[in-house]
Amino acid sequence: MLSPHLAKKIVSDVRRLIDEDIIIVDTNGIIMASTDTTRLGQFHEGAFLVCQEKKKRIITKQDENILRGVKAGINLPIFFRGDVIGVIGITGDPKKVSPYGELLKKMTELLIQENYYTEQLQLEARALETFVFEWLQARDWSPSFYERAQLFHIDLTMKRRVIIASFHENEPSLSVDMWKYVQNMWNEQRDIIVRWGNDRLLILQTDEDKERTTAKIKTVQRALIEKYAVTLYIGCGKMVDSKHVHHSYKQAERALHIAKQTKKIVFDEDLRLEMCLEDISLATKRELVKRTIEPFMHEQELLHTLRTFFANNLSLKQTAEALHIHINTLHYRLKKIEQYTNLHVRNLEHIITLYLAIRFLDETTKK
């Protein structure tokens, strides 16, 4: 309950309030944490007696010659759920430090209580994460799986949609506070929200309505930006029977990859071309770039021209205007691209090949 790490944290927090030395002692009388590091690991007879008697003890100058390892001050028992779990000691003139005693004791007990509930919350969260992980892996459900579902109050008869929410890679990792905040914002008891690694949340949703889902996601995104200054990318799978959530998970992964590129909420069922492109390996994408536009990759002007040409739906007039060049200059650049690649912008198959090449170039460069 009272670990050395927690004891050290308590000493650090309490020290901000007073200048006197502070110690935290375990129930065996061993000093666990101290502002005076030379006392660590020493036996403190006064604290040991406090644990036995369950009441505070004033340590006088005379006691320094009688009790082992003590200094003048005050020792107070730390209680948790009615039991003494340690002692906090404040070194100094007893008359001077006694007024702080009860306040610091209460503060210490609150810190321990807060730490306990945080640990319990994390244990419960990990247990749920483990259950969801098994849910996504298992094809057949064992009796123990059904029992754990009941313990978590999870209805396995309901259809579910997997939603994966990912934080930007340069932003801080997902904290317990963020996870709880999203749970409270989401506010749907039938849905399951778990932490999925250091930068993701996984939601098993029961609402089939896309518009409501989109509105809810946008509300959460705005709230996280305002409260934590973090950006959330969202990929959503299809609604499936609970037995097939692994399919929805794969779809959500694919949708999330597109969401990171488009900065939009992406539902897998809305994907068309992207659905096909996601199944192409990175090696194949790089090979297509090599076989097509690699000969002029050193000419940024031509690459920019080609990107702008596609961004303007192959309109020569709009592309020239966007580039602030004469249309004859645009024709000249496109002709150079044809010479480099032997692909012609008026040939449907060739223009599709160029489009995929420039798209794969941008994608693989980012990776």
Count of domains for the chain = 3
Residue 140 has pLDDT above 60, yes or no: yes
Question: 297: number of CA atoms within 13 Å, CB side?
Answer: 14
* Residue 136 included in any domain: no
Tell me, yes or no, whether 13 and 87 share the same domain. Answer: yes
> For the chain, what is the mean pLDDT?
91
Whether this model's pTM surpasses 0.85: no
Strand ranges of the sheet holding 266-267, from the earlier edge strand across to the other edge: 192-195, 200-205, 160-167, 232-240, 266-267
Residue 257 resides in a domain:
yes
- Across 119-127, average pLDDT: 86
CATH number at residue 326: 1.10.10.2840
Model confidence at 261, pLDDT cuts 50, 70, 90, reads confident
Same domain, 40 and 97: yes
> Is 176 domain-assigned?
yes
Asked whether residue 207 falls in the same domain as residue 318, the answer is no
Whether the CA torsion 129, 258, 166, 289 is positive or negative: it is positive
pLDDT at 367 over 70: no
178 plus 230 within the same structural domain: yes
Mean pLDDT of 155-167: 95
Write out the residue range of the structural domain in which residue 340 sits. Answer: 282-366
Residue 13's pLDDT band (boundaries 50, 70, 90)?
A: confident
Rounded mean pLDDT, 282-294: 93
Distance from C-alpha of 304 to C-alpha of 183, rounded to nearest angstrom: 44
Say if residue 303 is in the same domain as residue 258: no
Co-location of 286 and 273 in the same domain:
no
From CA 60, how far away is CA 13, in angstroms rounded? Answer: 26
Domain boundary among 90, 118, 146: 118
Tell me the per-residue pLDDT of 46-75, one tens digit each, with 9 for 90 and over: 999 999 999 999 999 999 999 999 999 999
Interval 331-344 mean pLDDT: 95
Q: Which residue has the tokens 């076989």?
A: 291
Residue where one domain finishes, among candidates 244, 262, 277: 277
Mean pLDDT of the region 125-129: 90
- pLDDT value of residue 102: 83
